[in-house]
Amino acid sequence: MILNTCSYPVLIAGQEDENEIVTENAAFVHGDPPQVGDGPPKVDSEVEVLHEKVTKQIIKEGHGQKPSKYSTCFLHYRAWTESTQHKFEDTWHEQRPIEMIIGKEKKEMAGLAIGVSNMKAGERALLHVGSELGYGKEGSFSFPNVPPSADIIYEIELIGFDETKEGKARGDMTAEERIGVADRRKMDGNALFKEEKLEEAMQQYEMAVAYLGDDFMFQLFGKYRDMALAVKNPCHLNMAACLIKLKRYEEAIGQCSIVLGEDENNVKALFRRGKARAELGQTDAAREDFQKARKYAPEDKAIARELRLIAQHEKAVYQKQKEIYKGIFGPPPQPKPRQNRLWQCLIIMWQWLLSIFYRLFKRERHKSD
């Protein structure tokens, strides 16, 4: 895979930054979660036999070429035992992509590697792997906990891969090399974002972050940590921008929160988290983020605009609720006209007089008899 080393200037929240991107629309709608339920997804696509013990069904098509032997692949997956549907691993939940070098994978990952080598970047698929190419007759009684002779179902996404000519894995790179590779991935992501290829852009950002994982960041101090954060944080923020455009607001909030864990006053992270929260109707939390962002960027017009949108939204909600309550309780009772009451009194008196005359008539008739 050829990496583009050009940078692209883009606009963010009223400020210029050559490495970051922002979205502008603000509608109050909801997005769908990436996974519904806790079991494997139901897939209707054609079953492709990759090996006697491995089959694949495509959930989402990928693009480009497939990885060759010794390619360094970055992937996410969920894994279930086929017989019990027990989920024993989920790298999406842990927010930590897995690195796999095709041809150098662990024994229990042999079936998974066969699936990965038959996928394209960005592809998501469902794999069925026989126990012989998984955890075998022994199973695993540590982590992950897999019973003996268990066939496995994988939901897997190939984020991307590098054709490493020298066969160098992340762990064998120097700090400068890892930061440099991550930075090139970030710039590739920015170029794809400009072309509105959001899913592909996120793959590049996620691969960049994979080179700067927590285990690596914990080892860095001083200028090296600053260099790494200068690449890592923009990747999380740019992923948030993509996710907002794709209406995946909960995920966008998570990406911004990662940055705020490192820098609690980061204006761009507060701004984008506020936008995502506003889209979900979490207006109190969104207002809090925007107000904090305005504290550090008081002249920013984009922040002021979002605060106005929240105020307008709340006013519209109040008016709507007012109309609803008015319809429930109805108008106050009106007093009846006096003329109607007068006629009712006359009718009652007339009936009373008739009853008296009738009783007197009966009494007189009785005397005459």
All structural domains of the chain with their residue ranges = 42-167
- Please work out, in degrees rounded to the nearest 5, the angle formed at the alpha carbon of residue 75 by the alpha carbons of 105 and 22: 155
- The CA–CA distances, whole Å, from 51 to 75, 110, 238 equal 20, 11, 39
**8, pLDDT greater than 90:** no
Q: Are 169 and 99 in contact (CB under 8 A)?
A: yes
Q: How confident is the model at residue 169 (pLDDT cuts 50, 70, 90)?
A: confident
pLDDT of residue 357: 73
pLDDT of residue 310: 92
Higher pLDDT, 245 or 38: 245
Q: How many CB atoms lie under 10 A from the CB of residue 63?
A: 12
pLDDT of residue 14: 35
Q: Which two tokens stand for residue 142?
A: 């540590």
Mean pLDDT computed over every residue of the chain: 83
Q: Are 3 and 185 in contact (CB under 8 A)?
A: yes
* CATH number of this structure's domain 42-167, picked from the four choices 3.90.1150.10, 3.10.50.40, 3.40.50.1820, 3.30.70.1400: 3.10.50.40
Which of 300, 310, 257, 270 is closest to 13 using CA atoms? 300
Residue written as token pair 């590098």: 162
The pLDDT of 253-260, averaged and rounded, is 95
Q: Which uninterrupted H or E stretch holds 72?
A: strand 72-81
Q: How confident is the model at residue 328 (pLDDT cuts 50, 70, 90)?
A: low
SS3 87: strand
SS3 152: strand
pLDDT of residue 28: 30
The pLDDT of 236-254, averaged and rounded, is 95
**27, pLDDT greater than 50:** no
278 phi and psi angles, rounded to 5 deg:
-65, -40
Inter-axis angle of helices 249-262 and 222-245, nearest 10: 160
Q: How confident is the model at residue 334 (pLDDT cuts 50, 70, 90)?
A: low
Residue written as token pair 């701004």: 271
Ranges 40-54, 160-174, 204-218, 252-266: which has the least confidence = 160-174
pTM for the predicted model, two decimal places: 0.64
**369, pLDDT greater than 60:** no
pLDDT of residue 147: 93
Q: How confident is the model at residue 37 (pLDDT cuts 50, 70, 90)?
A: low
The pLDDT of 130-138, averaged and rounded, is 95
**23, pLDDT greater than 70:** no
- In the chain, the amino acid numbered 184 is R
